[in-house]
Amino acid sequence: MAKQPGGGGRRELTVRVKTARGRKTSSQKWLQRQLNDPYVVEARQMGYRSRAAFKLVEIDDKHHVLKPGQCVIDLGAAPGGWTQIAVARTKAIDTAETDGRATGPTPRHQGQVIAIDISEMEPVAGADVIHLDFMDDSAPDRLRSLMREAAADVVMSDMAAPATGHARTDHLRIMSLAEAAAAFASEILKPGGVFLCKVFQGGTERELLDALKRDFETVRHIKPPASRADSSELYVLATGFRNR
């Protein structure tokens, strides 16, 4: 079980950001929050690319989404925090990548992680990374072309559209991404597969929720501790894909 960063009786020092000419108040507050966020500090110390890695760690520790040998599709992967966790927990690192020795046939316990994002991201050892908008018509076929098997065990999405500042518009935009991710999951998952996706407060729209309940045995909303308390961010976790 992952310990919450900043625990263990350590005294946390608050970093104050000095006002800089040309820096907006909102930018100053964001920077101060980043510098004083224990998850950000811990992510940097552990080599994770983002604090979001802890969200997946906490979800997986509780709900056991990731297992050795699985094929995982990571949508909206940049900068790669979730990809790093998926590689480690599915054991997707190939011996040849770490010590230069050829491994022959793929070990049965070795997983596969395929990540895609519209933004470029640095390679992650053990993962296949695609620089492409998931909403591009060619994206599903590009993802399939890299899969070693015909179906995936897990589809997870941390996709989010750039915020407009208009709550209703932002909600509709992220729901559009969630619906596209769910549709892809229903086409690519194995029986018993898992779908994990970010949504915003207000939860999952009725049409998507009904579709997920039809296609999966269990559907729940979760908010991991690493998700900021003042954020409207939630995750929908659907398990036990029925493969209708």
pLDDT tens digits, 71-117: 999 999 999 999 999 999 999 986 434 333 445 555 556 999 999 99
Domains recognised in the chain with CATH numbers? 49-241 (3.40.50.150)
According to DSSP, the residues that pair with 199 across neighbouring strands are 234
Contacts with 232 (C-beta within 8 Å, 6 or more apart), sequence order: 200, 201, 202
pLDDT for position 243: 80
Per-residue model confidence as pLDDT tens digits over 6-21: 444 444 444 454 555 5
Residue 4 binned pLDDT confidence (cut-offs 50, 70, 90): low
By the 8 A CB rule, do 126 and 113 touch?
A: yes
- Which of 3, 198, 213, 223 is flagged as catalytic? 198
- Counting every residue, how long is the chain? 244
Mean pLDDT for the stretch of residues 35-44: 60
DSSP structure class, residue 94: -
Which tokens go with 132? Answer: 């492409």
pTM equals 0.79
What pLDDT digit, counting tens, does each position of 116-162 carry? Answer: 999 999 999 999 999 999 999 999 999 999 999 999 999 999 998 88
| The pLDDT of residue 58 is above 60 | yes
pLDDT at 127: 97
CA dihedral (59, 91, 134, 165) positive or negative: positive
Given strand 233-241, what is the order of strands in its sheet? Answer: 127-131, 112-117, 71-75, 152-157, 189-200, 233-241, 216-222
* Higher-scoring residue by pLDDT: 223, 30: 223
223 is catalytic: no
